[in-house]
Structure 1
């Protein structure tokens, strides 16, 4: 049975990490990605006789498998890779890593074991059915490894990888779409490992012609491999410094492209070293000698056709720095080349922690452009380890707002060029000048503090709630005086009053109905998942429809609802779809034995254990977890077990309470204690001695009572354990009795639909808690007037004076 994608990649990374030895991640990635490449092209050659990559005899992964355990394995692997490279003109691309390097891989037996284990790990991957739609085993494995290598490589060595989330934004705002023609071109002058180019290309389902240039030799090699791994064997990726030695020229001029994207190194100080020709790139001014940001921006602009569009990731300084950069920025704005600016959160990138922005360029209709569309997306992210990461909702919101030019308060607006050119701004593009993304100040009301009451201004600020629940405000508040209201109920009862209101209950029901209708509309589509399903297209359709259905719903942010779906997709459904595509519904639902691999130090935690001790059978249920199976078929029996468990817990609590009362110094159980500890064995021994000694009858009764409590506890625990074992066995048996329709019903209804509904219901609950917290805050803030506080202070002052007088102090 196929492993879940997430488990497979986690296993791959952990295994590789175990075998890394003395290398840092920036070196180790060359070995791992080379092996990934050899495995992929070997598998593809087996499945596709027309593969563009020739896998010669003596140059395949099978030859590596044959070398496992050989004391000359390192040398043999080098020769295998050399044969593959020579057959395809990939010298200095796939043969950079030396698999016979004793300093990195160890000597003798150490190298032999390490390389044999690595080959064994990659042998578990099967890419024969891999597709190039951007959601295949290979693409995800490469993305997973690259992200981990970038994270592990540190600040100075992680710049070869643009986070996939940022790449998706550039791909979608640059203008590539399903209508893009195959002969149209996309260019990245600083392409790194090629991840940004590939994300852009993925937006063109009919294909697009790819061009790229990379300065670093090892990273250029990664990019070449990456293109082949993703089915873009004919991509033209060249080597060299883009600024000083651009490789794409024609008739001594830069070649031009339909689209261009770039994530150049930030603020390079040596950008002009060796520059002897500018190719007309600096007609609007030469960038500062010690800062190359505008050199890359101007290169991209010059490389665009007259209708070309581009997007470049740059540090925020390009938006507001003065001097030569200000002059260039002014000229670009006057000519209308800058279509938009998107401000990103800080700490997204692996090479730097500073915040960056996306500058969107568009030559088409530039002369008629009258404004710059700005988006402040700096607050939309989630913490992920030591980096920040854009969520699905952040990506979708940025793209929707930018492409539709939608103005959102404190988030986005079309800024007229007249405002940018105004002397007070002087062509400064710093986003906070034009978009105030700060939260409104929570102003204290002095009159309310003096005389009580909650200001109507604060209640009016909650108008989205009152619009959705027109009668709720009148139920919660009563008039005090003009401009002020009082809580009509006790502050502690606010939450329950909201939950009990008919309007809120109807709102919750309506949300549930929308989710139900949405799922029902896509159920046939989900039922029809097969090996030919395209997961990216599937989730795009699901997500866009959910967004559209919740857009008109008051209060709920449709992007927060969308995030609930996407989080569950990435954590669970994506794996489920992968299993169903590879195994079929019924086989994917079958239990499998857990993986125990001592050589790779891998051990899976079982979902279900039947039996005990050495004879115990441990199972994983990847598609249908035992909890879902039990809820579907054994809900009543689970209730019975819950009751038994509660009884066992109550029995244990009775033992604890009785011992706490009597197992103390001079207590009835004091003689049975040993080093302040007590147990059934100690109690039993003491009872025997107490009867012999004719001890206090009360002590004997206490000992006998505690033994009964221990026996009751043991019996209750055994009953619960036996019942659970019976349920586990029944559940395991039930898996074997499921037909395909049963599996579909459980997965679609009891797992996916139920979980998504609960997650979105959680968004409704969060709304409630937010409203309750604000009302309670306002209620507490103005609960006591100044006169009441003065009166309370006078009382306390009198008490202090009285206490001092009692102490003889005047």
Structure 2
């Protein structure tokens, strides 16, 4: 059973529980139970009294009372890790005997004891529970979406031995993401020095236990408001400095200005709204050559007053390396548009130009119900452009400091990056008058049609010189006609993806000793090269298809490459089922990609049909004919 299936099973079993407890209690109950289930993995961190044994929960006459006793004992025995609110967690949540027993039984089923079951599965289940409950509750308290964590960590690019700090942690997700990023590239966890500060103690407990579930035992999580009560203070009384700062601060929090006592927090000014105060805290916490990545609401990029002065000071000192506009609906519970600031340490700022790389990535999202999702292909494109500091038309631009200063230091991307070309080009006047599709418009779309093996001149009929006629059958069912013409190419592409997968499956067994990121890059290149021969899809789309598939299935793919019988490897039956599932997922994604291409071509054809099917000359002829008939009818009725 893969972790997604495990989470689904737990999700269904806890359906009643979700309706009875608030958002804060539900994930904490699941977290406490996951910790209890995996206590043998954490004996070096936790004090474990007799009441915490899992077999006692399984045999208890009252599962609720046994669970309450176990969680209370866990909190009481580990006060440096777990806050006192956990002591009453079960009894205050109104969990019944039946519900507690169901949860215990489900966890016992999906996480059986045994050396072959990786502890990573427990951590992955908790991540997915947090994600799903945040979506369902529409709460903003669930932390940073995993796709955003992955983007932020890629932008920060932490290296082995770095110190990484999150001043506004909710559940430890950003430090965990940083550790995973380095582990994927080196094969080693625990090579970073991780630090975090939570606003309140329950969040601090969740972060410590979540880090522990991920096998991270060297992290420090303290509690307090990072602006008014920063906890990481040097012996000299200054803020500690870190190589990387990753932060998703609470939105629009108010600041009691008299409580801001650290001078570095007001270096560029003081604001009663905390958004840019958290940015100043991140800057003050950076080592001289450090990198900070902070999520901010878009308003701080252009508002005047105190925020405008703070922004101006940071830009004058060259502390802002990049601004990445991500748009709306990326976070549960709010439609506020957000951006990401990439910050420089003081030393890096002095050694750099004050130019700012602006990236408008608002279109680089996948819309899903009421949420926008930053897919792996989108994060790849954004990170690549950032690290190369490259300029891409309608997407990114390196803006000189002088230009920013001339626009009152606004960092709104729309002030510097032109929107992409309009989907509908200007209509051809002669074609509107006399009819027909201009050959020039058709030739401009030749490459896009070629992706699906379609030559538009084969279905558009010859017309007067320089024009083609739009056939009636195509006008009546554009989408169906395009799908029929694209079917051979779509079938061939999906078949080529299947052939590649068979080669991939055989080779995956031979790369178990390499870091996961190296393996991913290796297979991404192979996928691109293998599919390039069977399609004219551009490299970016092919690599994007692979990345979305790989990252979605990464946990399973990582287990599939492990030798049979080794720790973390799938049992034979589960292995075969998983191989089939990831194969079908890749094929489905390949079909969706080709379907999206078909939709784009259908839209192009529909524009031609709507615009040029009836010319003004045709309409005039019809008007004359209707007028003639009306005149004749009036004459027949005796009207002169």
Normalised by the size of structure 1, how large is the TM-score? 0.68
Q: Distance in 2 between matches of 1:474 and 1:808?
A: 53
SS at match of 1:123: helix
Could you say which residue in structure 1 is the equivalent of 2:193? Answer: 209
Farther-moved stretch of structure 1 (50-59 vs 292-301): 50-59
Following superposition, the deviation at residue 343 of structure 1 comes to 0.9
Distance 2:560 2:505 in 1: 18
1:744-793 Cα deviation digits (max 9, x unpaired):
xxx57xx7668746753663464355335424532552234323221111
Verify: 1:800 aligned to 2:633, yes or no: no
Structure-1 separation of matches of 2:247 and 2:447: 41
Which 10-residue stretch deviates more, 87-96 or 406-415? 87-96
Matched, 1:195 2:173: yes
**Are residue 542 (structure 1) and residue 485 (structure 2) matched?**
no
Q: What's the counterpart of residue 617 of structure 2?
A: 787
**Contact 1:6–1:575 (8 Å) recurs in 2:** no
**What is the CA distance between 1:413 and its match in structure 2?**
2.1
Q: 1:556 aligns with which of 537, 540, 544?
A: 537
Q: Paired residue for 1:149?
A: 133
Bigger CA drift: 381-390 or 253-262? 381-390
Q: Does 1:126 align with 2:108?
A: no
CA contact (8 A) 1:263 1:312 kept: yes
Whether the aligned pair in 1 keeps the contact of 2:198 and 2:224 (CA below 8 Å) is yes
- Offset at 1:302? 0.5
Choose 514-523 or 193-202, whichever is displaced more: 514-523
SS in 2 for 1:253: coil
1:742-781 maps to which residues of 2 (within 5 A)?
Answer: 756=586, 759-760=589-590, 763-764=593-594, 766-768=596-598, 770-771=600-601, 773-775=603-605, 777-781=607-611
In structure 2, the partner of 1:228 is: 212
Tell me: CA distance 1:83–1:324, structure 2 relative to 1, closer, same or farther (3 Å): same
1:515-553 CA deviation, whole Å, 9 max, x = no partner? 4785466343334588x8987765564345435767899
Does 2:320 align with 1:345?
Answer: no
Report the equivalent of 2:565: none
Alignment-derived partner of residue 461 in structure 1? 444
Match of residue 239, structure 2, among 222, 236, 254: 254
- TM-superposed deviation, 1:566: 5.1
* CA apart distance, 1:433: 1.1
Q: Deviations over 1:304-362 (max 9, x none)?
A: 01101010000001111111211221221122111111111311112422110000012
Partners of 2:135 and 2:147 lie apart in 1 by 15
Pair 572,84 (structure 1): closer, same or farther in 2 beyond 3 Å: closer
Looking at structure 2, the residues matched to 584 and 570 of structure 1 have their Cα atoms a distance apart, in angstroms, of: 19
Contact preservation (8 Å) 2:171, 2:203: yes
Higher Cα radius of gyration: 1
How far apart are the structure 2 equivalents of 1:278 and 1:553? 61
In the other structure, the counterpart of 1:588 is 574
The CA distance in 1 between the partners of 2:128 and 2:583, in whole Å, is 28
Deviation at 1:263, TM superposition (A): 0.3
Cα distance, 1:129–1:497 mapped onto 2, change above 3 Å: closer
After superposition, what is the alpha-carbon deviation per residue over 1:709-756, rounded to whole angstroms, capped at 9, x for unaligned?
Answer: xxxxxxxxxxxxxxxxxxxxxxxxxxxxxxxxxxxxxx57xx766874
Separation (CA, whole Å) in 2 of partners of 1:65 and 1:413: 60
- Show structure 2 runs of 5+ residues with no match: 563-567
* Residue 300 of structure 1, aligned match among 276, 282, 288: 282
- Cα deviation for residue 185 of structure 1 reads 0.1
Q: TM-score, normalised by structure 2?
A: 0.84
Q: 1:780 to 1:491 in 2, by over 3 A?
A: farther
- Contiguous gaps of at least 5 residues in structure 1: 591-621, 624-746
Aligned to 1:69: 61
- How many angstroms does 1:138 deviate by? 1.3
Distance 1:228 1:94 in 2: 18
Deviations 1:659-693 (A, max 9, x none): xxxxxxxxxxxxxxxxxxxxxxxxxxxxxxxxxxx
Q: CA deviation at 1:513?
A: 8.9
- Equivalent positions of 1:323-362 (< 5 A) are 323-362=305-344
Q: How many Å apart are 1:216 and its aligned residue? A: 1.7
- Cα distance between partner residues in 2 of 1:24 and 1:500: 51
* 1:181 aligned partner: 160
Q: What is the aligned counterpart of 1:448 among 427, 431, 454?
A: 431
User: Residues of 2 paired with 1:59 and 1:448: CA distance?
Assistant: 80
**Contact 1:550-1:558 at 8 Å conserved across structures:** no
- Work out whether residues 186 and 260 of structure 1, in 8 Å CA contact, stay in contact via their aligned partners in 2: yes
Q: Is the 8 A contact 1:258 1:307 kept in 2?
A: yes
- Paired residues of 2:315 and 2:354 also in contact (CA < 8 A): no
Residue 170 of structure 1: how far off its partner (Å) = 0.3
Contact 1:24-1:153 at 8 Å conserved across structures: no
CA distance in 1, matches of 2:454, 2:34: 63
